[in-house]
Structure 1
Amino acid sequence: MSKTMEPPRAAEAPDGGHPPRRRRRWGSIVLLTLLVLVLVSGGVAYWLFNSLDNNIKGVDIDRAIGDDRPEKLPTSGQNLLILGSDSRAGANAALNTGKVAGARSDTALVMHIPEGRTEAVAISIPRDTLVTRPECTKSDGTTVASANRVMFNSIYGQVGPACVVKTVEKMSGIRMDHYMEIDFAGFKGLVDAVGGVTVTVDQDIHDKSSGLDLTAGTHRLDGTQSLQFVRTRHGIGDGSDLGRISLQQQFMLDLLSEIKKQDLLGSPTKAFTIADKLTAALTTDSELASLTKLAEFGRSLNGVDPSSMETIMLPVMYDKTDPNRVVAAEPQATELWKALHDDTAIPESARKSPATGG
């Protein structure tokens, strides 16, 4: 495999244990398709999107969390928490996602847009990371006590999206200015709406679990194939949850580049279709829960070039008690969050993850 395709290596677990169990996930990078809406809607006439306002679901994060939050960045930089829901209902049942009920935040990205809005960096949080969940309030008003050593992706289903935001803010010390979420079906529909995404792989991938069957070379993937591609767990590296991040990052860049290449201003029908597919699967914080607000936010990000977007995995190490889980590696994780908070360059030491040999 080439350097761009080779996922991080998973080191041996401590005390002779085994690497983390192989889990299905649809790819943290896919969640940056939310940025597609931002890039597209910024230049398209408002009238085209007015009828789509009701598609977007909003969550009042500020009300749910209250005042127990970090201060906003001292600069004009922005931080977004982008989640992917692994709901297994309806259209998702045909995608080999299993029979698990409900939904979890199967993927998570903290997207940092520095002052100037000309670049971006995405921090991927592995779903099997053990974290401290703070005390949170559920949507029905009940309080859930804090808990230690909680698997990150379980928080969404147990307490709700606002608690995921609060957990990320507690572990990072950084305020999330906005929240966005998309689900399986929305991702599939979006790729189909843009006419597919071209990817290049340097080796055959045959994965019976995801259904992906590709030979080495360049392929044009439709929505179902793309979902299989970012969820493939066999034939790529060691197949672990950590090992797929590099592959998912490649797909995200390919998808964003595909969107930017298309003449959506010259094709209102295609622009509407893309917006319809995405907004139907989109949940945001209440401040962005309208197409007008999203378009305004989008125009502020028009200078972000997907090809220059940096993607980093939160530095993690295998948990000493449970080698099937990982924990944030220190001091690397603290250095990474501090760089984002200060809106400064990320030091090389903060890019190293003991669990991947990086």
Structure 2
Amino acid sequence: MSAESTPEPGITEPVTTGPQHRGGGRRRKAAPGKRRKALLATAWAAAGVVVLAGTGFGYVYFKLNGNLKSVDINQALGDGRPTKVDNGSENILVLGSDTRAGTNRKLGGGTDDGSARSDTAMIVHVYKGHKRASVVSVPRDTLIDRPACTDAKGGSHSAATGVMFNSAYSTGGAACAVKTVESLTGIRMDHYLEVDFAGFQKLIDDLGGVPVTTTRPISDPQSHLNLKAGTHTLDGERALALVRTRHGVGDGSDLGRIQLQQAFVKALLDQVAHVGVFSDPKRLYDLADTATKAVTTDSDLGSVNALADFAGGLKGIGSSHLRMVTMPVRYDPADPNRVLLEKAKAERIWQALRNDRPIPASATKDTAAGEAAGVVSG
């Protein structure tokens, strides 16, 4: 079986084949009041919609262009980064950000202090020819060594040992997150895309919802999600609840939630491909307007033209050409709320991506998975 035809985690069958249980025999429990906003790779779908804006002109073009926010990653990181591999492939870091400002406060609670977290991280590798891609989800609770970094405003942040992966973004924003991923993988990130969860919810509504099928009921009072087994068309609110849920399925861990997110990403891509926006000018504009408001990009993608060109290279990659895995980790025996990197197995993934090769099945065999595979499909 080829890498492209291997079943994905969270779709129909688990990638892992070994035991999948919590360290110390305990299930992970979230701290009271702690929000886990999983915004997945909506930026991928947003980029796919923004390509439609390439047909715009005049007011429409300038309106959409004015929506975009960008960060100069190259200036912030300077030299000392991994070498760009010139083989026709591209690597994109996609983050979901959980800001505490504006509309996001209404959706997520908390204070309107403008702070932000990154609760979802995906490394997207687009292979030469741009006909297929691999996506590696990075668990936010992975304990790592974070490198010293400089944020986009010039602020310096010291290195830290044994901290959660998502602390990179909360410490130094996009630039620090990119540097941490490059330090972890040895792979240069060619681009950066970030989406906030308010934009994610509105994008789903503008699409008219996303159909998914659940193989068993999901009930999670924390994310306010209640779904019977069967097929549902999720609006933005319920879609956001689905990708946030962690207690209604699997072992209650972030790893299980990642499996749901990966399944939803595929369903979302299929919906973007089949929604027929070209025949509906108002829907076309609404989607492009929402997408450009939802994303923050690196400065190289900081215009509608640049983002449209980039998205044009992705639009041929459907869900059947998308290989999705979770970065190999194991449960931390000292703390059931954390996971540890399986370095040798992870290196097999990074080496494959550096060489523009499919991810080997051995890289994810017998690693922690979260026990939520197959619960949701598109």
Mark yes or no: TM-score above 0.5. yes
Counterpart in the other structure of 2:3:
none
2: distance between equivalents of 1:90 and 1:245? 26
Out of 133, 137, 145, which is 2:158 matched to?
A: 145
Query: Contact conserved, 1:95 with 1:210, CA < 8 A, in 2?
Result: no
Out of 257, 271, 279, which is 2:292 matched to?
A: 279
Q: Within the alignment, does 1:288 sit opposite 2:301 as a pair?
A: yes
Q: What amino acid is the match of 1:45?
A: T
Q: Within the alignment, does 1:120 sit opposite 2:120 as a pair?
A: no
- Per-residue deviation at 1:144? 1.5
- Per-residue deviation at 1:312? 0.5
More displaced 10-residue stretch of structure 1: 220-229 or 82-91:
82-91
Q: Within the alignment, does 1:88 sit opposite 2:95 as a pair?
A: no
- Per-residue deviation at 1:277? 1.0
2: distance between equivalents of 1:286 and 1:3? 33
Task: Write the deviation string for residues 212-264 of structure 1: whole angstroms up to 9, x where unpaired.
Answer: 11111111111111101111122211121111222111111111111110222
Task: Write the deviation string for residues 78-132 of structure 1: whole angstroms up to 9, x where unpaired.
Answer: 0000001112333334445555952111110000001010001110000001111
Give secondary structure in 1 for the equivalent of 2:270. helix
Alignment of 1:196-211 (within 5 A): 196-211=209-224
Query: Contact conserved, 2:136 with 2:324, CA < 8 A, in 1?
Result: yes
Give secondary structure in 2 for the equivalent of 1:356. coil
Give secondary structure in 1 for the equivalent of 2:99. coil
Out of 27, 37, 42, which is 2:46 matched to?
A: 37
Task: Write the deviation string for residues 171-204 of structure 1: whole angstroms up to 9, x where unpaired.
Answer: 1000000000001100001001111111111222
Counterpart in the other structure of 1:4:
11
What is the aligned-residue identity percentage? Answer: 45
Out of 314, 332, 343, which is 1:330 matched to?
A: 343
Q: What amino acid is the match of 2:46?
A: L
- Per-residue deviation at 1:141? 2.3
Q: Within the alignment, does 1:184 sit opposite 2:220 as a pair?
A: no
More displaced 10-residue stretch of structure 1: 295-304 or 188-197:
295-304
Counterpart in the other structure of 2:376:
none
Q: Within the alignment, does 1:213 sit opposite 2:213 as a pair?
A: no
Q: What amino acid is the match of 1:27?
A: A
Counterpart in the other structure of 2:26:
18
What value does the CA root-mean-square deviation take over the aligned residues?
A: 2.3
1: distance between equivalents of 2:257 and 2:20? 10
Task: Write the deviation string for residues 133-188 of structure 1: whole angstroms up to 9, x where unpaired.
Answer: 11111334232121111111122111121011000001100000000000110000
Q: Within the alignment, does 1:79 sit opposite 2:91 as a pair?
A: yes
Q: Within the alignment, does 1:46 sit opposite 2:69 as a pair?
A: no
What TM-score does the superposition give when structure 1 sets the normalisation length?
0.92
Counterpart in the other structure of 2:310:
297
2: distance between equivalents of 1:300 and 1:6? 29
Out of 12, 27, 52, which is 2:38 matched to?
A: 27
Q: Any stretches of 5+ residues in structure 1 without a counterpart? A: none
What TM-score does the superposition give when structure 2 sets the normalisation length?
0.87
- Per-residue deviation at 1:328? 1.1
Query: Contact conserved, 1:10 with 1:19, CA < 8 A, in 2?
Result: no
Query: Contact conserved, 1:128 with 1:151, CA < 8 A, in 2?
Result: yes
Q: Within the alignment, does 1:129 sit opposite 2:142 as a pair?
A: yes
Query: Contact conserved, 1:336 with 1:346, CA < 8 A, in 2?
Result: yes
Give secondary structure in 2 for the equivalent of 1:292. helix
CA 1:5–1:107: 2 relative to 1, 3 Å: same
Give secondary structure in 2 for the equivalent of 1:52. helix
Give secondary structure in 1 for the equivalent of 2:94. strand
CA 1:272–1:4: 2 relative to 1, 3 Å: same
2: distance between equivalents of 1:250 and 1:5? 9
Task: Write the deviation string for residues 258-282 of structure 1: whole angstroms up to 9, x where unpaired.
Answer: 1110222222211110111121121
Q: Any stretches of 5+ residues in structure 2 without a counterpart? A: 1-8, 372-378
More displaced 10-residue stretch of structure 1: 319-328 or 273-282:
319-328
Query: Contact conserved, 2:100 with 2:108, CA < 8 A, in 1?
Result: no
CA 1:122–1:251: 2 relative to 1, 3 Å: same
